[in-house]
Structure 1
Amino acid sequence: MNTARSIALFTAVSAALAVGIGATALSAIGTGEETLRLHLGSDSSEFVYSNAGDPITQPIGPPKNCLITEEGPLASLDGSDRGPGLKDGSLGIKTGGSTGVPCARVDSTEFLEVGLEGVPNAVRASLDLELKGAVRADIVVSLGGATVDTFQVRAGSGIVPGEGVDGTSTVPYTATATAAQPVVNCRNASDSGPDSGPNDNCYVTIDPGAEFDAVTLRPLSGEVSLEGSWDFGNDPAFDTIFVLTGYSGELGCTPENGTATIEEGNVYGTFTRLENPSGSECVLKPYTLSVDVEAETLSFVPVDVDPPQLAAYKGTVGFAPRLSSNPVTNQLEYDQDDDGPLGFEFMPWCEGDPFATPDSPGSIDTGVIPAGDTWCIVSETTKVYSATQVRTLWDVVGIGDPKMQ
């Protein structure tokens, strides 16, 4: 059977916010601008999430022969060759021996990527970049692996007169790239050698006008290091900073605080968090709920907290009305392994009533979900909009922290 509209549910359980995060839950939402900072100073090396409440920290452990590994829960680092390296407050790629500048630079054969993990998507970022030589470096922003936009920073003899937008002419050097003006000229027209303090740095702000969840540095010439205020005396104003979209709210386990609903264009969805299947005490979960009207897709992303909890949900989703004469039967698809479009499969029907004998009071019977799946369809309803249009609504239940699109 053909699929008229689909909803992909990525239902792998989120990683717990454990090591280095302490007792503060990510659900302590404040009212200010949400940010994720990368601080690489002589005082500490860490990612810090803040929403005007208590900050949450992901320490970056000491490098081993200059090689580092960061895989969340707030952010991850990736790169070519042997992977990311760290030396004296500079992130680069490990290509050589145990010490020295190869760990702290990215050259024209390499790339370095920062990915956002347990935080909302970013809307802009300010990057503390150290630039060496005749630099031309692409800054690629992406969402879910798909490129959103590409910017380019130039310095020294990499600058072409008459091309790009000039940044400031004195220290601290800054520049801003936008979707309309993606090329920026940083610092000045002379090539710079390494280790010149703030004189060879440029604080580059990128603003694509769209959400993204990863930034990749790809030099075309010269060398680049990603830093976070080391050359500015650990001043947090020069940390590498991601400004985030912010969460839609928090979900508890009561009717008063446990429901999220959205309807935009022809897309509708409502989700209610139920009591935990284990019967454990409910901890609030931040979530984002959004719709891509043009693509007619829905995104519902609860975020795990500390301590982590396997949650249960019920929901109803629906898409654009169809011609009543159309013989195509709508199907609901999801991708529980986060494999992307090639991993889509039909969501199965529940093997019984999920509310008849719940695992714990106020939750669901997880045994009705077919083996190998984490969500299932409870019922399907056809709603008549007019003499020629109908809409299919699905009632669903599931466990874990789903990602839907």
Structure 2
Amino acid sequence: MNVVRTLAKPVVLVSAALLLAVGSTAALSAAGADEETLRLHLGSDGTRFVYSNDGDPITQAIPAPRNCRVSVDGALAAITGSDQGPGLKDGSIGIKTGGSTGVPCARVDSTEDLTVALKGVPDAVKASLDLELKGGVRVDIVVSRDGTEVDTFQIRSGGGIVPGQGVDGSTTEPYTATATAAQPIANCRNASDSGPDAGPKDNCYVTIEPASSFDEVAFRPVSGEVSLEGSGDFGNNPSFDTIFTLAGFTGELGCTEADNTAAIEQGGVFGSFTRLENSDGSDCVLKPYTLEVDVAAETISFVPVDNEGAPQPATYRGTVKFGPQDSANPFTSKLEYDQDDDGPLDFEFMPWCAGDPFATPDVPGSIDTSVIPSGHTWCIVSETTTIFSATQTRTAWDVVGIGDPKMR
């Protein structure tokens, strides 16, 4: 038995939630077979972030510091910190403390914290970090996604190491260590000290492998000091850049039948999203996107990204399905979403469209964006509930939206 509702207030709830964010920008191309990376290079030959996939590399230059203070906030990544924010000196990023223009600008101590946030690139799945360590180091490295902590690792060196705790790294130069979600403590066996820089002897190339993807990493020393570097102490060898390995984009969306639809189905979750013409009639520019499902949480994530310099007032139509689900009464729930990617999830009911979005579109091939209720960016066109048995249903929602949504 199918129950179909169109353009009317529903009485029904879906157990999955949708999260939506508008306006992310970056000049990116879609993922290919090669591994996608975001590199932080801090050498005598330049300071920059570089995003690489199967397209042309995208570079975000890091400007020269002023009195050691540096501002890093671009299309690919941002770096923030406590006190007066990040400082940069001699290829090392630390915290700019009050009045200091010396070495402290390039270190983070136990009263400070430093954060690197990914912006216009896919989430990271692991990171290899060029760290300079001073003293009896214990530094917590906290990785998060959408403002929610994913994992915390602790890197130790010198007097910070406790015999019998943690996984030891290499004992010869170049010093390396790996921390995983299963073994989150890693011991760097380098020549960590509190004296002048010792080149690569006091660096440790640390790889962290969280349980799931992340878009932010924070450095919070418990003892000793740490600097974030990118191959400068290794003769600018890019193999020792700080490297984020990225999940990669699923593909690119255009506005023709050949390239305008993304679809996925895993477990009881299905989603199909079709890009329509831009609401202002402007030329369609390809948008990289990711499309993912979390079967256990019964959630779906659809994330298109604008190309830098060519923001697209894109419109979409989509269908999402969840279930079969156990329900004594299949008509007791509603579809929820979060319409901005601003950290903690803030769910609200997705409204029904105030009219037919296809009757009088803004431009041919688009939708009538005026039917989306004020304060919202997506709305429901129709809902269909299929009853499998007395206790199981499957619900499909037809939706339309504007901007660059992020759904989950």
CA contact (8 A) 1:12 1:400 kept: yes
> For residue 156 of structure 1, what is the aligned residue in structure 2?
158
> For residue 182 of structure 2, what is the aligned residue in structure 1?
180
SS in 2 for 1:103: helix
Shift of 1:6: 3.9
- Decide whether aligned partners of structure 1 residues 339 and 175 sit closer, same or farther in structure 2, where only a CA change above 3 A counts: closer
State which drifts further: 155-164 or 237-246. Answer: 155-164
State which drifts further: 174-183 or 309-318. Answer: 174-183
- Decide whether aligned partners of structure 1 residues 122 and 324 sit closer, same or farther in structure 2, where only a CA change above 3 A counts: closer
| d(CA) in 1 for partners of 2:201, 2:326 | 64
* AA aligned opposite 1:89: G
* Identity rate, percent: 71
Q: Does 1:262 align with 2:264?
A: yes
Instruction: Give the aligned length.
Output: 397
With normalisation by structure 1, the TM-score equals 0.93
- Decide whether aligned partners of structure 1 residues 109 and 341 sit closer, same or farther in structure 2, where only a CA change above 3 A counts: closer
Residues 247-294 of structure 1 show CA distances to partners (whole Å, capped at 9, x for unaligned) of 111111112211111111221111001111111111111111111111
| d(CA) in 2 for partners of 1:106, 1:197 | 18
| d(CA) in 2 for partners of 1:271, 1:277 | 16
State which drifts further: 323-332 or 251-260. Answer: 323-332
CA contact (8 A) 2:151 2:181 kept: yes
| d(CA) in 1 for partners of 2:253, 2:65 | 38
* AA aligned opposite 1:370: P
| d(CA) in 2 for partners of 1:342, 1:126 | 29
Match of 2:404 among 381, 401, 405: 401
| d(CA) in 2 for partners of 1:340, 1:114 | 15
SS in 2 for 1:367: helix
| d(CA) in 2 for partners of 1:349, 1:181 | 47
| d(CA) in 1 for partners of 2:179, 2:60 | 28
Residues 172-204 of structure 1 show CA distances to partners (whole Å, capped at 9, x for unaligned) of 111111222222211347635231111111100
> For residue 374 of structure 1, what is the aligned residue in structure 2?
377
Shift of 1:3: 4.5
- Decide whether aligned partners of structure 1 residues 385 and 254 sit closer, same or farther in structure 2, where only a CA change above 3 A counts: farther
- With CA pairs under 8 Å and 6+ residues apart, which has the higher RCO, 1 or 2? 2
> For residue 20 of structure 1, what is the aligned residue in structure 2?
none
> For residue 137 of structure 1, what is the aligned residue in structure 2?
139
Q: Does 1:344 align with 2:354?
A: no
Shift of 1:323: 4.5
> For residue 318 of structure 1, what is the aligned residue in structure 2?
321
With normalisation by structure 2, the TM-score equals 0.92
| d(CA) in 2 for partners of 1:339, 1:205 | 28
* AA aligned opposite 2:43: G
Shift of 1:398: 0.6
| d(CA) in 2 for partners of 1:93, 1:401 | 34
CA RMSD of aligned residues (A): 1.9
Shift of 1:327: 6.0
> For residue 21 of structure 1, what is the aligned residue in structure 2?
none
| d(CA) in 1 for partners of 2:79, 2:190 | 30
CA contact (8 A) 1:330 1:392 kept: no
> For residue 15 of structure 2, what is the aligned residue in structure 1?
5
Residues 80-101 of structure 1 show CA distances to partners (whole Å, capped at 9, x for unaligned) of 2221111111111111325112
* AA aligned opposite 2:110: S
State which drifts further: 5-14 or 388-397. Answer: 5-14
> For residue 8 of structure 2, what is the aligned residue in structure 1?
none
Residues 50-105 of structure 1 show CA distances to partners (whole Å, capped at 9, x for unaligned) of 01331001111222332223233211112122211111111111113251122111
Match of 1:49 among 36, 48, 51: 51
Map 1:1-400 → 2, pairs under 5 A = 3-15=13-25, 17=26, 25-27=27-29, 29-188=31-190, 191-306=193-308, 307-323=310-326, 325-326=328-329, 328-339=331-342, 343-400=346-403
> For residue 3 of structure 2, what is the aligned residue in structure 1?
none
| d(CA) in 2 for partners of 1:70, 1:126 | 20
Shift of 1:312: 0.6
| d(CA) in 2 for partners of 1:3, 1:85 | 50
- Decide whether aligned partners of structure 1 residues 392 and 146 sit closer, same or farther in structure 2, where only a CA change above 3 A counts: same
> For residue 4 of structure 2, what is the aligned residue in structure 1?
none
Shift of 1:28: 5.0
Q: Can you give the 5+ residue segments of structure 2 that lack an aligned partner in the other structure?
A: 1-10
State which drifts further: 103-112 or 182-191. Answer: 182-191
CA contact (8 A) 2:304 2:406 kept: yes
State which drifts further: 303-312 or 5-14. Answer: 5-14
| d(CA) in 1 for partners of 2:59, 2:365 | 34
State which drifts further: 372-381 or 385-394. Answer: 385-394
Residues 310-342 of structure 1 show CA distances to partners (whole Å, capped at 9, x for unaligned) of 211000112223456416522111222335566
